Structure 1
Amino acid sequence: MGKYIVHSTLRPIGSQVINKLGIHSFLSDEPVAAKGTDAAPNPVQYLLAAVGSCMGATARDIENREDSLTIKSFNVDVHGETTTYADQSSKVTHIDIKIKSETNLDPVDQQTFLNEVVRQCTVHSSLEGSVPMDISFE
């Protein structure tokens, strides 16, 4: 079981938020059109990046456990759509994930590997059922 703690502080400029995680820190912001300063990705972009990053890390973890697997390339494109409602709330309403991977596996084992990446990805599993997602493999 993992436990993660993030401390987020709104800065006095635009919509900038500094996020601190142990020794790491990163900024989030909103575009100028949304009254931000566009100094960093917005939170939804980080959410989508978390999906792709987790799938990549999961692929590497599987490779590290499987002696017969060599990943030559692994790329994930994640596209998200949001909807803004009349009460000004908004939500990510759809995520489209495209995974392109080149390995030393035959086509059947390659598909099994990609299915395992999706199944074991913590971020995907956390969002599954809450946000409709389409996943395709190239």
Structure 2
Amino acid sequence: DGVNSAVSIRQFHVAVDEPPGLGGNDTAPNPVEYVLAALGSCQEITYRLYADALGIPLDGVSVRLTGTIDLRGFFNVQPDIRAGFQGIEAEVILDSSAPQAELERLKQVVDAHCPVLDILRNPTPVQLSLRQGSLSAAAE
């Protein structure tokens, strides 16, 4: 079945897959694409919330993201290359009648308070454990 995965988050079910070149069937976004989606959607939400809180008119917001990944790190071809993104670039487009100075202030507030941006910019302690057992028991 390739490398596809079904993820449950609260009451939601999300499919994850890889393109054929990485052993998948290309039936869903891959994990790093979900990271970009998480950042983009979190930025949009945070812009909307803080624009409203600061009284800055905002008719729309769109975030376009690209991530650069060197698969030599993922496949351990070159151990000094990290497995994840080497960089992420974002373009935020704000549909607003506010002066540029207000939008720059809004950007500073959003960049300081966007949770996903914080996760990506600052090391977050992660503890992964391993347990051998039945998958049906693990689902309980």
> Fold match, TM over 0.5?
yes
Say which SS state the counterpart of residue 85 (structure 2) adopts.
Answer: strand
Larger Rg: 2
Q: Which structure: greater strand fraction?
A: 1
Q: Which structure: greater helix fraction?
A: 2
- Structure 2 partner of 1:102: 95
The Cα of 1:64 is off from its aligned counterpart by: 3.5
- Structure 1 partner of 2:61: 74
Question: Which consecutive residues of structure 2, in runs of 5 or more, have no partner in the other structure?
Answer: 124-140
Moved over 3 A (4+): none
Q: Distance in 1 between matches of 2:62 and 2:20?
A: 30
The Cα of 1:14 is off from its aligned counterpart by: 1.2
Residue 124 (1) aligns with residue 120 (2) = no
The Cα of 1:129 is off from its aligned counterpart by: 4.6
Residue 59 (1) aligns with residue 52 (2) = no
Q: Contact (CA 8 Å) 2:58, 2:94: kept in 1 or not?
A: yes
Say which SS state the counterpart of residue 98 (structure 1) adopts.
Answer: strand
Counterpart residue identity of residue 71, structure 1: L
Q: Contact (CA 8 Å) 2:2, 2:23: kept in 1 or not?
A: yes
The Cα of 1:105 is off from its aligned counterpart by: 1.6
- TM-score where L is the length of structure 1: 0.77
Question: Which consecutive residues of structure 1, in runs of 5 or more, have no partner in the other structure?
Answer: 1-12, 131-138
Counterpart residue identity of residue 101, structure 2: V
Counterpart residue identity of residue 82, structure 1: I
Q: Contact (CA 8 Å) 2:56, 2:102: kept in 1 or not?
A: no
The Cα of 1:123 is off from its aligned counterpart by: 0.6
Cα root mean square deviation, aligned: 1.7
Q: Distance in 1 between matches of 2:13 and 2:4?
A: 13
- TM-score where L is the length of structure 2: 0.76
Pairs aligned (count)? 117
